[in-house]
Chains A and B, each alone.
Chain A
Amino acid sequence: MLASHTETLALREQFETPAQQKEASSLGMWIFLVTEVMFFSGMFLAYTVYRAAFSQVFSVASNTLNVVIGAVNTSVLICSSFTMVLAVHAAQIGSRKLLILFLILTMLLGGVFLGVKAYEWNQKFEEHHVPGPTFHLDGTTQQGQAQLFFSLYFAMTGVHALHMVVGVGILLTLLIQAFAGRYTAEYNTPIDIAGLYWHFVDIVWIFLFPLLYLIGRHHH
C-alpha cells in the first residue's frame, strides 16, 4: 500500500487515478459556486422585492443607465468567456503557447469590462445618481425609492466587479505558472477550475444586465 505510485501533480498520493483527483477538484469548485449562487441570490431577491413594490420608480431609474454601454460590456464579458474556454482547450491539448495567449486575452477582456464599469460609475457620480445627501433623480418625486434602485445597482455591480478583480488575479497567477511550464495535457486542473469561476461570474452578469438595464426600456 505504501508508495503505490510516484506522486505527480496530476496524481497525488491520496488518489487512485488522475481522473478521480480532477473530479474531486471540480466537485469542490462547484460546491463553492453553489454558495456563490446563494450569496448573489440574496441581492437578486432584495432587488425583486423592491422592484415589485416600487416598479414605476425602478423603471425611471433603470432608464438612466446607458443600455448601449451595458450591451457592449455584456458582449465583452461573453468574449472573455469564449477566450477562457479556449484557454482550457489549449491546456487540454497541451499547447503552452495558446494557453498563454488565451489567458492574456481573457485578462485583457476582463480589464476592458472593469474599465467600462469604472467609466459608468464615474458618470453616476457626475449625474448625482449615487445614493447619499447629493442624490437627485429627474422624473420622479420618490427620491427614496430611486436611491434604493441605485443602492442595489452599486451593491450588485460592485460585488460583481470585485469578483472580476479576483478572477483577473487568479488568471495572472495561472499565467505566471503557465510561463513556467507547470501545465500540460496531463495536468491542467487549475485552468479548468479557474474557468468554472470565470464562467460563473459571466452568468451573474447575464442576469444583472437585463434586470438593471432593460426593465424600463419599453416605457421610453
Chain B
Amino acid sequence: MHEHIDSIKTYAVVFVALLFLTWTTTFVATIDLGPFNVVVALAIAVVKMMLVVLFFMHLRHSTILMKVVIGGGLMWLGILLLFSLADFGTRGWLPVPGK
C-alpha cells in the first residue's frame, strides 16, 4: 500500500492561501467592476474550490478512475446549467404564441 502522505507545511500553505482569498474576495466586492464583479467573485471561488479539492481532498494523488468520475459529474453539472440557462436566457427572443 503506497499511500501518499502530504506534509503539514503543504496543508498550512493551502490554508493561508484560502484565508487570503477569502479576504481578497470580500475586499474586491466593494470596488465597482460593473458586470465583472460576479466574474471575479466566481473565479476566486473556483480557485478556492480547486485548492480544497486538490490538496485537502487529495485529488492530486488520486487514481485516473476517480478523476474520470469527478469529471463526469462536472459534465452533468455543465449540462444542467447550460441547457437551463439557454432556456431562460432566450425565452424573449421569439414571439411564440401562447407563451
Contacts and interface: CB of A to CB of B under 8 A. Distances in A.
Interface residues of A, number: 50
A214 B89 CA distance: 23
A195 B56 contact: yes
A196 B8 CA distance: 17
Contact of B22 (A23, A75, A92): A75
Interface residues of B, number: 50
Contacts of B18: 78, 81
Contacts of B33: 218
**Secondary structure dominating the interface of B:** helix
Contacts of B5: 89, 92-93
A34 interface: yes
B45 A220 contact: no
A78 B1 contact: no
A214 B70 contact: no
A31 B23 CA distance: 32
Contacts of A52: 88-89
A215 B38 contact: yes
Contacts of B29: 67, 210, 214-215, 217-218
B65 to A, nearest CB: 7
Given A37-B77, A218-B33, A210 B70 contact: no
Contacts of A67: 26, 29
Interface string B44-88: 110011001101110000110110011011101100110011001
B66 A27 contact: yes
Contacts, number: 130
Question: Counting chain A CB atoms within 10 Å of each CB, which of B37, B56, B81 scores highest?
Answer: B56
Given A49-B85, A67-B26, A82-B15, A218 B73 contact: no
Interface stretch (A122-130, A150-158, A201-209): A201-209
A176 interface: no
A48 interface: yes
Contacts of A218: 29-33, 37
A38 B37 contact: no
B2 interface: yes
B62 to A, nearest CB: 7
A52 to B, nearest CB: 7
Question: Counting chain A CB atoms within 10 Å of each CB, which of B11, B62, B63 scores highest?
Answer: B11
B25 to A, nearest CB: 6
Question: Counting chain B CB atoms within 10 Å of each CB, which of A82, A206, A211 scores highest?
Answer: A206
Given A27-B66, A67-B29, A214-B26, 4 more contacts: A19-B1, A85-B55, A92-B3, A218-B33
